[in-house]
Amino acid sequence: MIAKIMKGSGFKGVINYILDPKKGTELIDSSGVRTDSIKHIVQSFIDQTELNPRVGKVVGHISLSFSVQDSSRLSNEFMVQTAREYMEKMGIKDTQYIIGRHFDKEHPHVHIAFNRIDNNGKTISDCNDRFKSEKICKELTAKYGLYFAGGKEKVKEHRLKEPDKTKYEIYQALKTEIARCRDWKALLVHLEREGIDVLFKYKGNSQEVQGIIFEKNGYHFNGSKVDRNFSYSKIDFALYQNNREHEQQMQGTLNLISNVASVTSGLANDLIEGGLGLFQTHGTVPAEVYNTLDKKKKKKKRKIHL
């Protein structure tokens, strides 16, 4: 489940978009508006904004997208329930809204239009709304066991245009190479093979690195703009972790070899000692046997001399 948040100042455009018949739209839920016509829906929203005319961007517009893999579960009732829960957690409550389901894309999705002026004339806050939205989407995805497709992992690369195409190429290269490198020297060599140059940003006149820039095909991107996991500090930490894991694996291998050598040496000693013991057993004649043999020999000698 992924959300995209938009804001605007006019309801007519967004309502016409959400309820466009060409998209096979179904109005699956609403609150506080007249739904007998698009015109009345728009007017209902406009009338409520007069409770707080000082607010400019009164339109809230959110699209909630789901994976194709969850299609069989996504009934209108389930999507309404999920959308309502999402809005509640976002603080979008006590206000007008409509929810329209579109069927113009492969993946199931709904559009929510809501009035940022609530039923009491107060403004619904949009503070950190994108951060909150991402967290809530993950919570609901986990709660309902939905499939979560990570953004860049589902990009249709052939549709990208510059500079997004180059940025995505850099993203893919970094994702692959960082996982296999243990230090900056190795990473820079691997990225150079991919046609990617790396520039470091330093703090003042010091040697302290505080940022990183990737360059390819004439385009420049800050690390965090390629992906938030590719800032200098996060890459540096990932390389440190890779090196640490490698050292632990090497130490584990050495310990295993040492243990095997110790066990082998012990077995060898036991075998040698056992062999010597066996040899001593067969090489030493018990006294009683020796005496008997000795007597027989003496008897034989006496017989011969007679």
The string of pLDDT tens digits covering residues 289-299 is: 445 555 555 55
Residue 274 has pLDDT above 90, yes or no: no
The string of DSSP codes covering the chain is: -EEEEEEES-HHHHHHHHT-GGGT-EEEEEESS--S-HHHHHHHHHHHHTTSTT-S--EEEEEEE--GGGGGG--HHHHHHHHHHHHHHHT--SS-EEEEEE-SSSS-EEEEEEESB-TTSPBPP-TTHHHHHHHHHHHHHHHTT-----GGGG--GGG--TTHHHHHHHHHHHHHHHHH-SSHHHHHHHHHHTT-EEEEEESTTSS-EEEEEEEETTEEEEHHHH-GGGSHHHHHHHHHHHHHHHHHHHHHHHHHHHHHHHHHHHHHHHHHHHHHHHHHHHHS--HHHHHHHHHHHHHHHHHHH-
41: tokens are 């829906």
Question: What pLDDT is stored for residue 122 in this prediction?
Answer: 96
Angle value at C-alpha 52, between 51 and 56, nearest 5 degrees: 135
Q: H or E element: which one contains 26?
A: strand 26-31
Task: Give dist(CA 119, CA 125) in Å, integer.
Answer: 14
* Amino acid letter for position 248: Q
* Residues whose CB is less than 8 angstroms from the CB of residue 187 and which lie 6 or more positions away in sequence, other chains included: 177, 178, 181, 235, 239
Out of 152-161, 277-286, 290-299, give the one with best mean pLDDT: 152-161
Mean pLDDT of the region 111-119: 97
pLDDT of res. 288? 52
> Could you report the per-residue pLDDT of 209-249, keeping only the tens digit for each?
999 999 999 999 999 999 888 999 999 999 999 998 888 88
In the predicted model, what is the mean pLDDT of residues 142-152? 74
Which single residue is written with the structure tokens 């789901």?
66
pLDDT at position 153 is 56
pLDDT-based confidence at 147, cuts 50/70/90?
A: confident
User: If you average pLDDT over every residue of the chain, what do you get?
Assistant: 86
Nearest to 38 by CA among 21, 52, 54: 21
Q: Do strands 59-65 and 109-115 pair parallel, antiparallel, or not at all (unpaired)?
A: antiparallel
Give long-range contacts, CB 8 A cutoff, 24+ apart: 192-201: 194/169, 196/170, 200/232, 201/232
pLDDT at 256: 80
Average pLDDT over residues 81-92: 97
**Lowest model confidence (mean pLDDT) among 31-35, 70-74, 213-217, 269-273:** 269-273
